[in-house]
Chains A and B, each alone.
Chain A
Amino acid sequence: MNHALPSLTDMATEFPPHQTIARLALAANGFVFDPLTGASFTANTTGLAILQFLQQDHRSLPDITALLAERFEAPESALEHDVIEFAARLRDIFR
């Protein structure tokens, strides 16, 4: 069977499982609280928007980048790096 290998971009934008993101309480000031573990962290405006999109079950890099571009009226090319960086941070937090 021929399994397609994930691309580097797919791996770089791998987010924690949806059930993990879905349970997070997001405050407008960027404070994020995990009611299961008691952990908390802060996110900037872009990070908060990414978490909101993830909670709405948008999972792909192009999808999230496009939504960010629309919300912040910025070019997608300038936002892609932010998404990749934030995905890495989330992976680290929920490791």
Chain B
Amino acid sequence: MNRRSVTVAVTGINARPDNPGPGLAVARCLKAATSLNVRVIGLAYDAFDPGLYLPMWCDAAYLLPYPSAGEEAYRNRLAALHTQVPFDVIIPSLDAELPTLIRLAPWLKEQGIATLLPSAAQIQLRAKDRLTELAEESGLEAPDTQSVFRESALHTLPESFQQHWPWVIKGLFYDAKVVHSLAEASQAFNDIAGAWGLPVLVQKFAPGEEINLTGLGDGQGRLIGAVMMKKRAVTEKGKAWAGISIHDEALLTAARRLVAFTQWQGPLEVEVMRSPQGKLTLIEVNPRFPAWIYLSAGLGCNLPEALVHAALGEPLTELPPAAPGTLFIRYAQEVIISLDDFAQVVTAGEIR
């Protein structure tokens, strides 16, 4: 098969064992692509991101400034890298960088860099404080949620909350803690508000088992492909350490409705709780691939590969449903780095 050669930049290559960014898994999917010959450019935010030093997955790797350094600095760095190692497509893998990259999308297009990103409006639709609306449109339940701006407000939440423990305390963008008392809730509020700002969300805990779906929306209301997974072992942060592919028709139908309603463009992850009675409660929609995305390549439903085709404007047919019953187990290992290589990253922000 004559495979098209393409260069793809991927962010989020930190791969921390307890809570990995999805970037390296995306890179591995791209290297496993059967229809593309992909040169991967890894884009890291920290000299300790291991993807910088794994040439089998990232052919070259560079440091980026954090988005918080400002849009101009971020754009200038991307422009310099694109001059140095032109890339055809960029796949962001972290929530925090998405607003910047969405604003930069028209500029990226001018530079000849393709993306498949949700719009700012779509990002707003899946915001954690708007889950109820999204759940209703998708035929799902939503947990009762309150936005809390100060710790003392935890004591005056409606009676229905005070009588319904545990709660889940969530940051608007990231992090979630299950708490069983007001004392724990106060601690979690302060931790999360300190790290991620206000408001902090308080949800009634939805009982059941968490199941996840990752997919790709084509921006015209169609879900191009989907992989569903049940975690079988988790890290202390509740991230998947092992999982198994499943098939839940109700979840798939809900995801299709969600993508149709939002006209979602790009990757997404839908997290739901399934009650013992089979009721699905939407707990989160992430606007990116999850860290377990390599399972999609393992199942022959390579979603990052499909994303590259879609970003390049190629017509896509829906991928066949991924079969249930395939497991993954994540493992941690060390990469050995010479002082010269580390110094090269720290001083020049690149390694090739």
Q: In the complex, which of the residues A33, A35, A38, A40 has the most CB atoms of chain B within 10 Å of its own CB atom?
A: A38
Give the shortest distance, in Å, between B279 (CB) and chain A (any CB). Answer: 14
* Binary interface encoding of chain B residues 230-252 relative to chain A, with 1 for a CB under 8 A from any of its CBs, else 0: 10100000000001111110000
- Tell me which residues across on chain B come within 8 A of A37, comparing CB atoms: 209, 211, 230, 246, 274
Judge whether B276 and A38 touch: CB under 8 Å: no
Instruction: Compute how far the CA of A38 lies from the CA of B227 in the bound complex, rounded to whole angstroms.
Output: 13
Instruction: Compute how far the CA of A37 lies from the CA of B232 in the bound complex, rounded to whole angstroms.
Output: 10
B324 at the interface (CB under 8 A from A): yes
A1 at the interface (CB under 8 A from B): no
* Binary interface encoding of chain B residues 247-262 relative to chain A, with 1 for a CB under 8 A from any of its CBs, else 0: 1100000000000000
Q: Is the interface of A mostly helix, strand, loop or mixed?
A: loop
Instruction: Compute how far the CA of A38 lies from the CA of B247 in the bound complex, rounded to whole angstroms.
Output: 8
- Tell me which residues across on chain B come within 8 A of A38, comparing CB atoms: 211, 229-230, 232, 243-246, 324
Instruction: Compute how far the CA of A38 lies from the CA of B276 in the bound complex, rounded to whole angstroms.
Output: 14
B298 at the interface (CB under 8 A from A): no
- Tell me which residues across on chain B come within 8 A of A33, comparing CB atoms: 324-325
Instruction: Compute how far the CA of A95 lies from the CA of B276 in the bound complex, rounded to whole angstroms.
Output: 7
Instruction: Compute how far the CA of A38 lies from the CA of B242 in the bound complex, rounded to whole angstroms.
Output: 11
Judge whether A35 and B276 touch: CB under 8 Å: no
Q: Would you list 22 pairs from A and B whose C-beta atoms are within 8 A, ordered by A residue? A: A25-B325, A33-B324, A33-B325, A35-B325, A36-B246, A36-B247, A37-B209, A37-B211, A37-B230, A37-B246, A37-B274, A38-B211, A38-B229, A38-B230, A38-B232, A38-B243, A38-B244, A38-B246, A38-B324, A39-B230, A40-B244, A95-B276
Instruction: State the B residues within 8 Å of A (CB).
Output: 209, 211, 229-230, 232, 243-248, 274, 276, 324-325
A37-B211, A38-B246 known; 15 other A-B pairs, CB under 8 Å?
A: A33-B324, A35-B246, A35-B325, A36-B246, A36-B247, A36-B324, A37-B209, A37-B230, A37-B246, A38-B211, A38-B230, A38-B243, A38-B244, A38-B324, A40-B244
